[in-house]
A and B are shown apart, each in its own frame.
Chain A
Amino acid sequence: MFKILQKTIRTGIVTTTYPSKPARISDHFRGRPSFDFEKWQDARPAADECPTGAISWRDTDDSRKVTVDYGLCVFCGLCAEASPDQAVKITKEFELATADRGSLILTAEYTLNADGTHRKLSAVSHGRVNADSDVQSVGAKARETIQKLLGRSLSIREVDAGSCNGCELEIVALNNPIYDIERFGIHFVASPRHADMLLVTGPVTRNMELALLKTYRAMPEPKLVVAVGACGISGGIFGENYASLGGVDKVLPVDVYIPGCPPRPQALLQGILLAVGRLREKRYDEHPSR
């Protein structure tokens, strides 16, 4: 007993100050790739390298549409290596959680050159996944009520709907003395019946579809769903195939999406606090209307 106390006292307080102060992370951390669409001469080499198809392009006549989806990105940095002119840079930014799946998708339109490269940017815009704006506003209203109800204390039930367990490692880290999620009144609970939030990692496999639905149905109203990681958002590198349905929103209504592969604990924290209205979404340069 004495030994334990001695060790505890000698160790001192190790908990981070995030999010009240910015996270202290390594300079070498690979976060969000940022795109200087103006400067970008050719998106094709980056798209060729991108392992998950987060960067894609389509040509029609003399124009090219380039799409970047942070919901698919695994933050590997290959796009930056493949793009000359420093048009793509790897940043340390990781606070990408959002309630709007569409805001993770950027589209740039270009005029094509004869040699296949492109020039002159004509527009950058957000993608729209939820075209049905009614659904969104209903969601927003429900979220307000939930935030009032659950803002102070929150119970989370985690469901691995098919992940590689990478996201689980970082979710478990939320309970360690460094990230200590309990200091926000947030607890992980064993039963969906006690849960306000379902934190789901993916991709949702055919074999987990039913278990995920049943867990969701067992939760009392009101309830939140947070999709974690590239696979939870979009299916990630697994995408959709005979055994994988893709992202969590193929099965459940999702309130907040947390990009990453896996999202680091601070990113998870940001997404969870965002879902209960205790943090705001972060704005980045490329997001014209966010």
Chain B
Amino acid sequence: MNLATLFGTLQTKFGKQVESMHAEHGDEAYIFLGDPNIRPITEYLRGELQARLVSVFAEDRRSREGVFFNYYVFEQRGDTQFLIVRAPVPAADPRFPSLSAELPAVNWQEREIQDWFGLTAVGHPNPRRVALHDNWPDVHPLRKDFPIDTVLPPFEGERHIYRPALGEGVLQVPVGPVHAGTIEPGHFSFAVAGEPILYLQLRMFYTHKGTEKLFEKLPIHKAVFLAESISGDSSFSHGTAFCQAIERAAEIEVPSDALIMRTVLLELERLCNHVADIGAIATDVGFVVANAHASRLKEMLLAANEQLAGNRLLRGMVCIGGVRRAWGAWQVELLRVAIDAFTREFRDLVALINSSESTRDRLEHTGILKPEIARDLGIVGVGGRASGIDLDVRRDHPYAAYRHLSFKVPVYQVGDVWHRMQVRIDEVQESISMIREAASRNLSGQFRVPVPPIPPNRCALSAVEGWRGEIIHWIRTGSDNRLERCKIKDPSLNNWPALVEAVQGNIIADFPVINKSFNLSYSGTDR
């Protein structure tokens, strides 16, 4: 459906409820509602148009427009448009209808709005706090009248009350927030009956560090570095997502060579993380030799990262308007050599893993996430593609240089650990050929353009397929080189509930490998 037809249909169907509609930046269609009742239009978009709800978030516009706004971002299969429905939530009666009962995918996102903005999701099946722990005082940090440097009194009382594990022989096993290995903090509460896990409860947001609020304080050019620190393993993806958002808002045309370089670096980031995960999955079932090789392979890439970007995590390379440095011919050559060596070694690694029957045995049928459940929970990225969810921002909403590259999106239906690893293996092959293709171009052109003053009050949405999955940044620019709002959605936020589903019925000893097969970012979730 083209946009004019869609707008026409919405106007006829929802009449007065739709106040206005307009398109921005080519592929963002904004639909402004006159009241908070999001239900009918959601039903229509999800039902008749088969649209997927990508993200839900809020904004405090009381000082300018007297209300809060909730935003509901949808996308349709095969259409590069994002449909962004905006619904006002009155300041005097800050309530909005919850969609979580029919759409479990927005469970946490609606509760974030409750915690951070103090708006009530009416009818939410589990309205308890999620983003602020239970021992926090009654504050709503993303409200404009809450200063970022507020010093909160020492916290007292219970952090979180978990659902008790009831039944004969049922035990509750608490783990975390500090874990046994070198990983991020979070709390897992397992209810087990003997070996099998009956259910898992999660408590996240231990690493909440006020990131979205801080985006409203930092000058925009400095905020690029904050974006790189949303999730360290996705520094370049988040950095790029952020720069893209600013470039869209300020209508900055990024030179084509810079877009190719960004693409190469995005794929390098994917390679680093995928190969590390493949090794880590092998470790968790006792195949440490495979991990030794995998981590060596990752180091080969990190060395290339450093030559290309000056930093092993590719930090400080992306900037608004392009990338910060040009590549000489020798760097492109070095990249080619590194990728050739990596390709050979990676083939050996895969052969090594495939030759180990005990590894395959442990990974197959372990931690199954069924496609129906994955769909209900709104699972994205690697975890989704292993469970039949055919989504990939690079193909569905092309950015950087992806529209000029050919690649396949691997999708499996089985949804076990083995297939989550298989998705990574396939994607590594695709990334290799994309990097090769991109690096065969002549990259001696312009690599960045000067940044004009950023105009105030512009909104823009940016999407990037990080190695983990769909990353969304949404911004509203403010005056004085600052942002009014910056919404960050890391794919981890969607995907934690997948872990809860996938571990059920598995033995607790398999939890680490199931967890690793999703490898979600705590910091990306908690921000």
Which residues of A approach B to under 8 Å, CB–CB?
A: 3-4, 7-8, 11, 14, 25-26, 28-30, 49, 51-52, 74-78, 158-173, 175-178, 188, 190-192, 203, 205-208, 210-211, 215, 231, 236-238, 240-244, 261-262, 264
How far, in angstroms, from A25 to B305 measured CA to CA in the complex?
12
Residues of B contacting A242 in the complex (Cβ-Cβ under 8 angstroms): 139, 141, 146, 148-152, 210, 213
Residues of A contacting B313 in the complex (Cβ-Cβ under 8 angstroms): 166, 169, 262
How far, in angstroms, from A290 to B209 measured CA to CA in the complex?
34
B336 within 8 A of A: no
Contacting pair A238 B229 (CB below 8 A): yes
Contacting pair A190 B180 (CB below 8 A): yes
In the complex, the chain B residue whose C-beta lies closest to that of A243 is B210
How far, in angstroms, from A164 to B316 measured CA to CA in the complex?
15
In the complex, the chain A residue whose C-beta lies closest to that of B303 is A26
> A173 with B352: in contact, given A160-B183, A162-B209 (CB under 8 Å)?
no
* Partner of A243 from B141, B185, B226, B307 at Cβ < 8 Å: B141
Chain B min CB distance to A268 (Å): 11
Residues of A contacting B139 in the complex (Cβ-Cβ under 8 angstroms): 242
In the complex, the chain A residue whose C-beta lies closest to that of B309 is A28
Q: Once A and B bind, how many residue pairs between them come within 8 Å at the CB atom?
A: 181
Residues of A contacting B235 in the complex (Cβ-Cβ under 8 angstroms): 166
How far, in angstroms, from A175 to B231 measured CA to CA in the complex?
21
Residues of B contacting A207 in the complex (Cβ-Cβ under 8 angstroms): 133, 205-208
Residues of B contacting A240 in the complex (Cβ-Cβ under 8 angstroms): 149
In the complex, the chain A residue whose C-beta lies closest to that of B292 is A177
Contacting pair A52 B225 (CB below 8 A): yes
Contacting pair A241 B225 (CB below 8 A): no
* Partner of B182 from A14, A28, A29, A172 at Cβ < 8 Å: A172
* Partner of A203 from B209, B226, B292, B296 at Cβ < 8 Å: B209
Residues of A contacting B155 in the complex (Cβ-Cβ under 8 angstroms): 206, 210
Chain A min CB distance to B251 (Å): 24
Chain B min CB distance to A244 (Å): 4
Chain A min CB distance to B37 (Å): 33
How far, in angstroms, from A172 to B388 measured CA to CA in the complex?
32
Contacting pair A177 B295 (CB below 8 A): yes
**Cβ contacts B495-527/A at 8 Å (1 or 0 each):** 000000000000000000000000001110000
* Partner of B229 from A158, A178, A236, A264 at Cβ < 8 Å: A236
B46 within 8 A of A: no
Residues of A contacting B148 in the complex (Cβ-Cβ under 8 angstroms): 241-242
> A237 with B229: in contact, given A242-B150, A261-B315 (CB under 8 Å)?
yes
How far, in angstroms, from A241 to B208 measured CA to CA in the complex?
11
* Partner of A11 from B151, B231, B296 at Cβ < 8 Å: B296
Contacting pair B523 A163 (CB below 8 A): yes
